[in-house]
Structure 1
Amino acid sequence: MHVFRTAVSCLCKTNVFMNHRTTMRTRALLTRTIPKQKLRALKPPYLKNFESLKQFSTSERRPVNPLIMFLFKMKGIQALKYVSILSGRSFRKLHDKLPEAIQRQLSRHKIAFGTSSAILMYIGYYSIVHYDTCPITGRKRWISFTKDQILVLADMDRNQLMEEYESKIIDHKTPLYKQCKSIVDSLISHNQDIDIVKKVDWKLTVIDDPEMNNAFVLPNGEIFLFTGMVDVMSDWQELAIVLGHEMSHAILGHVQEQQSFAVFGELIVVPLLAFIWFLLDDFAAFVVYSIQQFMYPIIFELGFKLPYSRQLESEADEVGLMLASKACFDPRWSVYLWDKLALMEATDALVGKSEIDFEFSSTHPSHEKRAVTLEERIPEAMNMRLECNCPNLEKRIDPLVKAHEMRKFAVNIKAQVKIKEELEQLQKPKGNESESSVASKCEEIKSLHEKLNLLEDEYNKLLTLHDQETKMLNMKDQKKYILNSLWSGLVGVFLGNSKDTFASFQSRNDTEDSTQSANQKSFTFRDRYTFSED
């Protein structure tokens, strides 16, 4: 028996019993022939304390505070820049102390090239690891901040805004809030097929500030709408387009994306600073560093950051149009909205209230470009309304007709503004001008005045045509109103109801019109341009 036990233990230690069935049979044989206490002595040393290992447990994993990680990523890069400067300068000093033979073998350029290759490989790996897919659109993007980190900042912004506008928050029982809330609820309820829409806790806050023409949505779903933005709207359909656009920013995670893009732009500077202070002497490095500090933000802002921001705005326009169309709103009002804003901007520039912004220096595309881009998406949006079994749109009201009309006015007014600016520049006195230059300047001024007169004539024609179309539309409405009244009167006569005569229908409709106009007076949209919208 002792020999048998020794043989089995040796076989166990030499891992002969690798087969599961063979091992189980051997274990059963040992159990029958050997007592349990002596069987425990045959266990390998690393299994003797297995029961005590089962009772061992670690503490619960605690992630780092998202706010701390956010600040580390944003402010840590600034510290990393100074570290790279000191490292580059220190390595240059060490390189200069090396023997000449080693310096020739390991020149600064070779070291810089090798180091840059390694850093670029690491940046490429870091970018691939942090690559993400944008929901709905499927666009590839680079994300370095987690959603929890952005939500912490959103909660802080929400608390700050609620504290700042505490006295101006509109009560939830007011008609204005109820109307805005119904639009938000419609956008949410008709887009439940999108997972993010279902997961986000959407909340609306309306702030009574007529001077603030703004609306935005925080990443945590907090919607802030100012009454100044509501006043600019000509119809509730426009407000649905605006809210759909702002909600799209939260759905697509654009804040998270913009912060990541800004960090990526700062991260590229870190190895650049190290190379500058390693390759150049102190004075030359300081000069190049000063130029870089001045030029790089401008180049990055105009060449990368602003175009990227305009791309995100265009993406939010398209997704917001889809959200509004699925909620059975009229997508044509999106074109009307941006053409109207373009006309307002041109009118303000004409009277000197503001200047027309250039698109390349703006975070948003121009109003005209947004109107044209969304108009290309109208057929797709209309098909989406049909797929969602939305009711048919009223044929008599076509916002696109008004949008095209306002677009002509905006183009004309902007051309006038441009010519007037050129005239102001030419009419400024300049000393020591020759007679030939003065004569050419006079000819140029004369031609500009002729162009300006033509534009003014075109503007007057457009205004006259608009007035005629408005009168024709009012006449059609009046004829339709009279025919409906006559028809209702005839129906009343044939039914034997003597009270429902034409006069009674006339008085009833007059009463309804007066009630409707009174209701409109209680809340009217701001009219910002020189001709009627009706």
Structure 2
Amino acid sequence: MAARLARSGFWCHLPNYPRPIPRQPSPIQTLRLNRFASYQRFPGRGPQQTQYRTRFRPINRVQYVWNNYRRQIATVGVGSGVVYVYNLEPVPITGRRRFNILSAKTEKSIMEGGYPLLLEELKGKILPAEHPYTRMVANVVERLLPAVKELAGDEWRVHVINDPKQMNAFVMPGGKVFVFTGLLPICEDEDGLAVVLGHEIAHNVAHHAAERLSRSIFTWPFIAAASIILDVSGGTVQFITDLIFSLPNSRTHEAEADHIGLLMMAQSCYNPEAAIPFWERMKEAQKGAPPQFLSTHPSDYSRIKAITEWLPEAKDKYQESGCGLTGGYARKFSQAFGKQGVMGRKQPVIFQPARSPQQEDDDLW
């Protein structure tokens, strides 16, 4: 009532009556008013202002950056788009379009830098060249290579690491093959081993390492900018970026390597139908694996389903390469009367575990 009378001017007719004291805003109310006040980047130097109409600070930062740097952002965006489109290329065999700015030679030189360090780390665990496991792996790689003429100039080396707990294998760009003994019981035979090595060599055929390095040109600036604007740690933005971009792309690479590897082993006269039993055994051995959306690899169920769809194409490749009944007899005859050894060969000709200069006189091998 008093406030209504004050607004109507009633108090001016009562000369001796005390007038009400205006209520002062509390410090919290003052802070709230100031948060939504107008902000001017350079006071007195132009009309550029950013109106803060939200309590969510990241939106305020986005408004500020856009209002003051929109030309620079547009220039960088257009330039990045031109670079991206210009460097699109098809992946060998599958034809998938992807962004890549690194040549195969550059990719090899970058990745091979860690090869001596890896040898030093695995010192004492690498089986000798005469070991049956090393000969078996070398024999499979030697049969797979004619199917990938793109990698003919690489200097191939086979390393079998004596670690029964590791069910893993990988091939570095440049032809450095690493297989852990824990994977061999799951492979069971050369067909199963061809599934693994075909998959790993396929990563080099498709130059997935170069694609990942090329993609980092865009992802790392995005992570840095997002961490500043959102006022969160870089690890949080990294996790979100991996979840949205990196992990799906990695699963794409794995599925693509499955496809290429399946065709490679079929062309090399390995039974492509062995891929499904292998992944079923791997599924049993890897119980408790994370969900697919949190993993760099497709789930075993997705892999088996995709391989089942690719099997007709792989069987056609198998027949086209003369790997039917006649081809099988020819291979057995060659192994029986050719070079004798553990897997039909006395000694791999082009595969020997590589030594670093410091290890030439060691008994490591």
Contact 1:217 1:224 in 2 (8 A): yes
Query: Mind listing any 5+ residue stretches in structure 1 that lack a counterpart?
Result: 1-92, 277-287, 347-354, 395-518, 520-534
Summarize deviations over 1:120-155 as a string: whole Å, max 9, x none.
112112212332332222221112444344323322
Q: Give SS of 1:205's match.
A: strand
Contact 1:119 1:271 in 2 (8 A): no
Counterpart in the other structure of 2:160: 206
Q: Distance in 2 between matches of 1:344 and 1:209?
A: 16
Distance 1:104-1:340 versus aligned 2 partners, 3 A rule: closer
Please give the alpha-carbon distance, in whole angstroms, between the structure 2 residues aligned to 1:263 and 1:252.
19
In 2, the alpha carbon distance for the partners of 1:256 and 1:112 equals: 32
Q: How far apart, CA to CA, are the structure 2 residues paired with 1:210 and 1:345?
A: 14
CA contact (8 A) 1:116 1:271 kept: no
- The residue correspondences of 1:108-257 to structure 2 (distance < 5 A) are 109-189=66-146, 191=147, 194-257=148-211
The one of 302, 322, 338 equivalent to 1:389 is: 322
1:376 has 2:317 as partner: no
Equivalent of 1:103, from 40, 48, 67? Answer: 48
C-alpha separation in 2, matches of 1:132 and 1:381: 25
What do residues 339-388 of structure 1 show as CA deviations (whole Å, max 9, x unaligned)? 12223334xxxxxxxx3421110000011111111011111111111111
Count of aligned pairs between the two proteins: 277
Query: Following the alignment from structure 2 to structure 1, what is the Cα–Cα distance between the partners of residues 149 and 326?
Result: 29
Who is 2:12 aligned against? none
CA distance in 2, matches of 1:197, 1:120: 36
Whichever residue aligns with residue 82 of structure 2, its letter is Y
Question: Is the partner of 2:325 in helix, strand or coil?
Answer: coil
Helix, strand or coil: the match of 1:137? coil
Q: Aligned partners of 1:318 and 1:332: how far apart in 2?
A: 13
How big is each residue's C-alpha offset from its partner over 1:264-317, in whole Å with a ceiling of 9 and x where there is no partner? 21123456578x4xxxxxxxxxxx3226x3542222111111011000000000
Q: How far is 1:204 from its partner?
A: 1.2
The partner residue of 1:365 within 295, 298, 301 is 298
Letter paired with 1:320: G
Instruction: Work out which of the two has the higher radius of gyration on C-alpha atoms and give 1 or 2.
Output: 1
Match of 1:335 in 2: 276
With over 3 angstroms needed to count, the CA separation of the structure-2 counterparts of 1:393 and 1:117, relative to structure 1, is farther
Pairwise CA distance, 1:393: 9.7
C-alpha offsets along residues 205-230 of structure 1, whole Å, 9 cap, x if unaligned? 11222122111000111011111111
Higher-RCO chain (CA-CA 8 Å, sequence separation at least 6): 2
Unmatched 5+ residue regions in structure 2? 1-38, 51-62, 328-342, 344-365
- Answer 1 or 2: which has greater helix percent: 1
Question: Who is 2:259 aligned against?
Answer: 318
CA distance in 1, matches of 2:127, 2:305: 35
Q: Deviations over 1:375-422 (max 9, x none)?
A: 11111111111111113399xxxxxxxxxxxxxxxxxxxxxxxxxxxx
Which deviations, in whole Å up to 9, do the C-alpha atoms of 1:69-112 show, x marking residues without a partner?
xxxxxxxxxxxxxxxxxxxxxxxx99414534x4369x955433
Is the Cα contact below 8 Å between 2:157 and 2:176 reproduced in 1?
A: yes
Q: Does 1:266 align with 2:220?
A: yes
Distance 2:227 2:163 in 1: 46
Whole-angstrom CA distance in 2 between matches of 1:171 and 1:343: 30
Q: Calculate the aligned-residue CA RMSD, in Å.
A: 2.7
SS of 1:167's equivalent in the other structure is: coil
After superposition, the Cα gap between the structure-2 partners of 1:186 and 1:148, relative to the gap in structure 1 and judged at 3 Å, is: closer
1:207–1:225 CA contact under 8 A, matched in 2:
yes
2:83 & 2:238 partners in 1: Cα distance? 23
The 1:104–1:307 alpha-carbon spacing in structure 2 relative to 1, beyond 3 Å, is closer
Find the aligned partners of 2:286 and 2:120 in 1 and give their Cα distance: 32
